[in-house]
Protein backbone atom coordinates (compact mmCIF):
# COMPACT_ATOMS: atom_id res chain seq x y z
CA UNK A 1 0.00 0.00 0.00
CA UNK A 2 1.57 3.30 -1.08
CA UNK A 3 -0.97 5.57 0.64
CA UNK A 4 1.82 7.63 2.26
CA UNK A 5 3.27 8.53 -1.12
CA UNK A 6 -0.15 9.23 -2.66
CA UNK A 7 -1.05 11.46 0.29
CA UNK A 8 2.29 13.26 -0.02
CA UNK A 9 1.63 14.11 -3.69
CA UNK A 10 -2.00 15.12 -3.15
CA UNK A 11 -0.97 17.34 -0.24
CA UNK A 12 1.83 18.99 -2.25
CA UNK A 13 -0.49 19.61 -5.21
CA UNK A 14 -3.18 20.97 -2.87
CA UNK A 15 -0.66 23.34 -1.26
CA UNK A 16 0.55 24.61 -4.64
CA UNK A 17 -3.02 25.21 -5.85
CA UNK A 18 -4.00 26.98 -2.63
CA UNK A 19 -0.91 29.21 -2.87
CA UNK A 20 -1.85 30.00 -6.48
CA UNK A 21 -5.42 30.86 -5.37
CA UNK A 22 -4.08 33.19 -2.66
CA UNK A 23 -2.07 35.05 -5.30
CA UNK A 24 -4.92 35.15 -7.84
CA UNK A 25 -5.67 38.73 -8.83
CA UNK A 26 -9.43 39.08 -8.83
CA UNK A 27 -11.54 42.21 -8.87
CA UNK A 28 -12.46 42.66 -6.07
CA UNK A 29 -9.75 40.71 -4.17
CA UNK A 30 -11.06 37.37 -2.81
CA UNK A 31 -10.09 34.86 -0.14
CA UNK A 32 -9.45 31.30 -1.50
CA UNK A 33 -12.64 30.05 0.22
CA UNK A 34 -14.70 32.75 -1.47
CA UNK A 35 -13.24 31.77 -4.84
CA UNK A 36 -14.05 28.09 -4.11
CA UNK A 37 -17.68 29.02 -3.42
CA UNK A 38 -17.90 31.01 -6.65
CA UNK A 39 -16.39 28.07 -8.51
CA UNK A 40 -18.94 25.64 -7.07
CA UNK A 41 -21.79 28.00 -8.03
CA UNK A 42 -20.40 28.16 -11.58
CA UNK A 43 -20.70 24.33 -11.80
CA UNK A 44 -23.91 23.39 -10.01
CA UNK A 45 -27.47 22.95 -11.26
CA UNK A 46 -30.76 24.44 -10.04
CA UNK A 47 -31.22 21.73 -7.35
CA UNK A 48 -27.79 22.36 -5.90
CA UNK A 49 -27.45 26.15 -5.72
CA UNK A 50 -28.45 26.43 -2.06
CA UNK A 51 -26.23 27.20 0.97
CA UNK A 52 -26.56 23.64 2.35
CA UNK A 53 -25.15 22.21 -0.89
CA UNK A 54 -22.22 24.65 -0.81
CA UNK A 55 -21.51 23.51 2.77
CA UNK A 56 -21.59 19.81 1.82
CA UNK A 57 -19.63 20.11 -1.41
CA UNK A 58 -16.79 22.12 0.11
CA UNK A 59 -16.84 20.39 3.51
CA UNK A 60 -17.09 23.76 5.29
CA UNK A 61 -19.05 24.78 8.37
CA UNK A 62 -22.44 26.47 8.01
CA UNK A 63 -21.02 29.56 9.74
CA UNK A 64 -18.11 29.92 7.29
CA UNK A 65 -20.43 29.49 4.30
CA UNK A 66 -23.01 31.93 5.63
CA UNK A 67 -20.33 34.57 6.37
CA UNK A 68 -18.63 34.06 2.97
CA UNK A 69 -21.96 34.29 1.11
CA UNK A 70 -22.73 37.61 2.82
CA UNK A 71 -19.33 38.98 1.77
CA UNK A 72 -19.79 37.74 -1.81
CA UNK A 73 -23.25 39.30 -1.99
CA UNK A 74 -21.96 42.64 -0.64
CA UNK A 75 -19.18 42.59 -3.25
CA UNK A 76 -21.79 42.09 -5.99
CA UNK A 77 -20.47 38.64 -7.00
CA UNK A 78 -23.56 36.56 -6.17
CA UNK A 79 -27.32 37.06 -5.95
CA UNK A 80 -29.73 35.40 -3.53
CA UNK A 81 -33.28 34.60 -4.63
CA UNK A 82 -36.02 32.83 -2.64
CA UNK A 83 -37.46 29.64 -4.15
CA UNK A 84 -40.79 30.24 -5.91
CA UNK A 85 -42.49 27.30 -4.06
CA UNK A 86 -40.81 27.56 -0.67
CA UNK A 87 -39.60 31.05 0.22
CA UNK A 88 -37.51 29.70 3.11
CA UNK A 89 -35.17 28.12 0.51
CA UNK A 90 -32.64 30.54 -0.95
CA UNK A 91 -31.07 29.97 -4.37
CA UNK A 92 -27.65 31.44 -5.13
CA UNK A 93 -26.38 32.52 -8.52
CA UNK A 94 -23.32 34.24 -9.90
CA UNK A 95 -23.57 37.78 -11.18
CA UNK A 96 -21.67 38.70 -14.33
CA UNK A 97 -18.89 40.01 -12.08
CA UNK A 98 -18.82 36.72 -10.14
CA UNK A 99 -18.63 34.64 -13.31
CA UNK A 100 -15.84 36.81 -14.62
CA UNK A 101 -13.87 36.32 -11.35
CA UNK A 102 -14.11 32.52 -11.83
CA UNK A 103 -13.38 32.53 -15.56
CA UNK A 104 -10.24 34.66 -15.20
CA UNK A 105 -8.69 32.64 -12.36
CA UNK A 106 -9.81 28.99 -12.59
CA UNK A 107 -8.52 26.42 -13.33
CA UNK A 108 -5.25 27.92 -11.98
CA UNK A 109 -2.63 28.69 -14.60
CA UNK A 110 -0.10 26.55 -12.73
CA UNK A 111 -2.32 23.46 -13.09
CA UNK A 112 -2.87 24.12 -16.81
CA UNK A 113 0.89 24.48 -17.33
CA UNK A 114 1.59 21.25 -15.45
CA UNK A 115 -1.03 19.28 -17.39
CA UNK A 116 0.25 20.64 -20.70
CA UNK A 117 3.56 18.89 -19.95
CA UNK A 118 1.85 15.51 -19.69
CA UNK A 119 0.71 13.25 -22.56
CA UNK A 120 -2.99 12.69 -23.34
CA UNK A 121 -2.68 9.15 -22.01
CA UNK A 122 -1.16 10.36 -18.74
CA UNK A 123 -3.89 12.98 -18.27
CA UNK A 124 -6.64 10.40 -18.98
CA UNK A 125 -5.05 7.98 -16.52
CA UNK A 126 -4.76 10.70 -13.88
CA UNK A 127 -8.41 11.75 -14.37
CA UNK A 128 -9.64 8.19 -14.11
CA UNK A 129 -7.54 7.51 -10.99
CA UNK A 130 -8.71 10.70 -9.27
CA UNK A 131 -12.36 9.92 -10.09
CA UNK A 132 -12.04 6.43 -8.61
CA UNK A 133 -10.32 7.72 -5.48
CA UNK A 134 -12.93 10.43 -4.92
CA UNK A 135 -15.81 7.98 -5.40
CA UNK A 136 -14.25 5.44 -3.01
CA UNK A 137 -13.61 8.09 -0.32
CA UNK A 138 -17.16 9.47 -0.62
CA UNK A 139 -18.61 5.95 -0.42
CA UNK A 140 -16.64 5.12 2.68
CA UNK A 141 -18.06 8.19 4.48
CA UNK A 142 -21.55 7.97 2.97
CA UNK A 143 -21.13 11.41 1.36
CA UNK A 144 -23.09 12.66 -1.62
CA UNK A 145 -21.15 12.17 -4.88
CA UNK A 146 -22.16 15.53 -6.46
CA UNK A 147 -21.92 14.06 -9.96
CA UNK A 148 -23.32 15.02 -13.36
CA UNK A 149 -26.36 13.53 -15.13
CA UNK A 150 -24.35 11.30 -17.50
CA UNK A 151 -23.47 8.87 -14.70
CA UNK A 152 -26.71 9.27 -12.72
CA UNK A 153 -29.24 6.53 -11.99
CA UNK A 154 -32.07 9.07 -12.45
CA UNK A 155 -31.18 9.98 -16.05
CA UNK A 156 -33.68 8.60 -18.55
CA UNK A 157 -33.03 9.07 -22.27
CA UNK A 158 -35.64 8.31 -24.93
CA UNK A 159 -35.16 9.32 -28.57
CA UNK A 160 -32.42 11.79 -27.60
CA UNK A 161 -34.68 13.51 -25.03
CA UNK A 162 -33.17 13.53 -21.54
CA UNK A 163 -35.36 13.52 -18.46
CA UNK A 164 -34.57 13.41 -14.74
CA UNK A 165 -36.79 10.72 -13.21
CA UNK A 166 -36.28 12.21 -9.74
CA UNK A 167 -37.71 15.63 -10.62
CA UNK A 168 -39.61 14.59 -13.78
CA UNK A 169 -38.08 17.58 -15.55
CA UNK A 170 -36.48 17.60 -18.99
CA UNK A 171 -32.72 18.20 -19.04
CA UNK A 172 -31.05 20.54 -21.51
CA UNK A 173 -27.59 19.77 -22.85
CA UNK A 174 -26.22 22.47 -20.53
CA UNK A 175 -27.93 20.95 -17.47
CA UNK A 176 -26.47 17.52 -18.31
CA UNK A 177 -23.01 18.94 -17.62
CA UNK A 178 -23.85 20.57 -14.28
CA UNK A 179 -22.95 19.21 -10.86
CA UNK A 180 -26.00 17.90 -8.98
CA UNK A 181 -26.50 17.34 -5.25
CA UNK A 182 -29.13 14.68 -5.97
CA UNK A 183 -26.85 12.62 -8.24
CA UNK A 184 -26.96 8.89 -7.56
CA UNK A 185 -24.74 6.23 -9.09
CA UNK A 186 -26.30 3.08 -10.55
CA UNK A 187 -26.94 0.62 -7.71
CA UNK A 188 -24.07 -1.87 -7.60
CA UNK A 189 -25.59 -5.26 -8.45
CA UNK A 190 -22.27 -7.00 -9.08
CA UNK A 191 -22.38 -8.91 -5.79
CA UNK A 192 -26.07 -9.83 -5.95
CA UNK A 193 -27.09 -13.42 -6.64
CA UNK A 194 -29.02 -13.71 -9.93
S1 LIG B 1 -30.51 13.01 -13.54
FE2 LIG B 1 -29.43 12.85 -11.57
S3 LIG B 1 -27.75 14.32 -11.74
FE4 LIG B 1 -29.26 14.85 -13.32
S5 LIG B 1 -30.65 16.35 -12.38
FE6 LIG B 1 -31.56 14.32 -12.05
S7 LIG B 1 -30.80 13.68 -10.04
FE8 LIG B 1 -29.51 15.35 -10.73
CA distance 194 to 185: 20
β-pairing, 169-170 with 161-164?
antiparallel
CA distance 135 to 124: 17
Q: How many angstroms does the Cα of residue 84 sit away from the middle of ligand 1?
A: 20
| DSSP per-residue string spanning 125-156 | HHHHHHHHHHHHHHHHHT----B-GGG-TTEE
pLDDT tens string, the chain, 194 residues long: the values are 699 999 999 999 999 998 888 888 887 889 989 999 999 999 999 999 999 999 999 999 999 999 999 999 999 999 999 999 999 999 999 999 999 999 999 999 999 999 999 999 999 999 999 999 999 999 999 999 999 999 899 999 998 899 999 999 999 999 999 999 999 987 764 444 43
Determine if ligand 1 sits within 6 Å of the CB of residue 180. Answer: yes
| DSSP per-residue string spanning 25-66 | --SS---HHHHHHHHHHHHB-TTS-SHHHHHHHHT--HHHHH
CA distance 54 to 18: 18
Q: Which residues share a beta bridge with 85?
A: none
CA proximity to 148, closest of 131, 161, 136 = 131
* pLDDT (0 to 100) of residue 94: 98
| Cβ pair 72, 38 in contact under 8 A | yes
> What is residue 7's three-state secondary structure?
helix
- Which CATH class for the 3-110 domain? mainly alpha
Residue ranges of the domains in the chain?
A: 3-110, 118-176
DSSP state of 152: -
Determine if ligand 1 sits within 6 Å of the CB of residue 39. Answer: no
| Cβ pair 185, 134 in contact under 8 A | no
Determine if ligand 1 sits within 6 Å of the CB of residue 183. Answer: yes
Task: Check the CA dihedral 150-146-16-74 and report its sign.
Answer: positive
CA distance 122 to 128: 10
* pLDDT (0 to 100) of residue 193: 40
* pLDDT (0 to 100) of residue 41: 98
Determine if ligand 1 sits within 6 Å of the CB of residue 72. Answer: no
CA distance 70 to 185: 34
* pLDDT (0 to 100) of residue 192: 41
Amino acid sequence: MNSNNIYKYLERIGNLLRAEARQAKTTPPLQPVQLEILHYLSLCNQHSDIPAAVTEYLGLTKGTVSQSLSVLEKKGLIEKKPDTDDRRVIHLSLTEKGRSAVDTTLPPELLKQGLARMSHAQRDQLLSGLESLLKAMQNSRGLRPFGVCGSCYHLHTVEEENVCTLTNLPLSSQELEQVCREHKFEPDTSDQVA
